[in-house]
Amino acid sequence: MAENYPNTNMPGSNMDPYNYQMNFEHLDFFDFTDWKKDDLELIVSGYPESQNYDAFNFGGSSSYHEDLNGIAASGDGRSGRENKETTKKVAFKTRSEIEILDDGFKWRKYGKKMVKNSPNPRNYYKCSVEECPVKKRVERDKDDPRYVVTTYEGIHNHHSPSQH
């Protein structure tokens, strides 16, 4: 973790965990045919250019958990290694210059890949908490480099690292 926060107003201790509110008003669906799977929720949120990342304050908000649980508690046959639990993918499309948006959790990057259909790499993150099976996938938009698509996978079974 180096300079993840260039010069943005990163909510460090000024964030309001209970005052979070996602701007899901701008629901613009693009040509994400590949994304429009049966179990993929694509959420596009457009932020005002001169706004900070307050809207991304997931920090331990119970509402966030409920919401995420509702959509993330569906079925996804991930017959992989550990547990084929129900995992849901949620894609957030956000307008931002940086792809590392602080959502209140600590992420550890475990991989980077170059997708063939895009000149931009795709980053893979995982929650630093042991018991947290949540994965995160960050990718830039192919046509709109100003947009970042963050795909969350799984449910947090713990609150913010600093919360509680």
Rounded Cα distance between 53 and 96, Å, is 9
Amino acid 101 reads L
Counting contacts by CB under 7 A, is residue 146 touching DNA? no
Q: Identify the helix (H) or strand (E) that includes residue 130.
A: none
Stretch that binds DNA, among 44-52, 57-65, 68-76, 124-132 (CB under 7 A): 124-132
**Contact characters 3-42, DNA, x per CB under 7 A:** xx--------------------------------------
Counting contacts by CB under 7 A, is residue 117 touching DNA? yes
Rounded Cα distance between 142 and 69, Å, is 29
Which of 116, 130, 143, 164: binder of DNA (CB under 7 A)? 116
Counting contacts by CB under 7 A, is residue 115 touching DNA? yes
Instruction: Give phi and psi for 68, each to the nearest 5.
Output: -65, -35
Residue 80 Cβ vs DNA, minimum distance, rounded to whole Å: 7
Judged by beta carbon, residue 2 or residue 131, the one nearer DNA is 2
Rounded Cα distance between 58 and 105, Å, is 8
Residue 134 Cβ vs DNA, minimum distance, rounded to whole Å: 11
Instruction: Give phi and psi for 138, each to the nearest 5.
Output: -115, 130
CA nearest neighbour of 64 among 100, 18, 28: 18
Of residues 78 through 97, those in contact with DNA by CB under 7 A are: 79, 81
Rounded Cα distance between 51 and 82, Å, is 40
Judged by beta carbon, residue 1 or residue 48, the one nearer DNA is 1
Which residues are near DNA by CB under 7 A?
1-4, 79, 81, 106-113, 115-117, 122, 124-126, 128, 135, 137
